[in-house]
Structures are given as structure tokens and as C-alpha cells.
Amino acid sequence: MYSNGLQELIDSISWDKLEDSYGPAINAPQGFIDLFSDNQDTREDAVYEFLLSSALHQYSTYSCTPYVVKCVLYISEYEDIKNLVVINCPLVRELFLFINGCLHSAQTMVELKKEIVKGKLLYEKYINHNDKLTSKYARMLFDFSSSLD
């Protein structure tokens, strides 16, 4: 289950005025909710169809992407996701994979860059994570954020 804080954050964003790879980002709220599903297939769809195909598609980003990053950072920092897995890996790894996929566009997309950099202290916490890829993605995000100080 997710917190009221996350629901308030999601509700504060006008998703219908933002675009993803398929048009208006109206499915974003359900995508976030599905990350917390008890059904692993639903969580997988939330990661691979929502995060990695709609908000980010083949390294292309959209007007919704900075807001999705903002919500992903909130989830990674404040929600209890330590026991959630996607295809036998920690959900946080897939969340950081998504943010890493946004780094190229963040070079020129100011709003996206700002949102990614806000996670610097969070990334630092995960640098020594027991999952090697989570640690690697956290290091890459931390290094990106640090390079902008």
C-alpha cells in the first residue's frame, strides 16, 4: 500500500495536460498505484509499460517525465518498497534504471535535470546497496547530480 502523501503528490499534477509517448499522460496515476500491487505481473507492467515505455521511451522523454521522476523519487525515499520485487530484483533498482534512462535528456531539459538532482542524497544512501545493479545505478545518478554542484 502507498501513503496519502504519495496520493496527494500524484493528485497535485495535471496529468491530462502533460504528454507521454502515447499522448496525454492520463494513465500515469494508475501506473504509480500499480507499482504497489500485490500482483507481480501488475508491478512489472507498471515498470515496463508505464515507466520505461510511456514516461521514457527508447531514451526519449516527454513533458510528463520530470513529474514522473518527482513521484519516483518520492516513492524511493518515503514509501516502504524494500520487499517489492520486479522479475526477481528490487523495485528500487528498476526505479533507478528509469531515472538513469532520463540522464541523456536531462543534459538539455532543465526541469528534468532539476528533478533528478533533487535525489542526490537518496542516491548516496543506495550506493552500497546489496544488489549490485541498484548500487551501480545509484552511483551513476549520484555522480550525475554531483557533477552539477
Q: Which residues of the chain have pLDDT under 70?
A: 149
Where in the sequence is the domain holding 55, given as residue range(s)? 4-146
> 3 — phi, psi (to 5°)?
-85, 165
CA distance 1 to 37: 8
Alpha helices, DSSP H, located in the chain: 4-11, 28-34, 40-45, 65-78, 91-101, 103-106, 110-117, 120-126, 132-146
Q: How many domains does the chain have?
A: 1
Q: Tell me, what's the pLDDT at 148?
A: 85
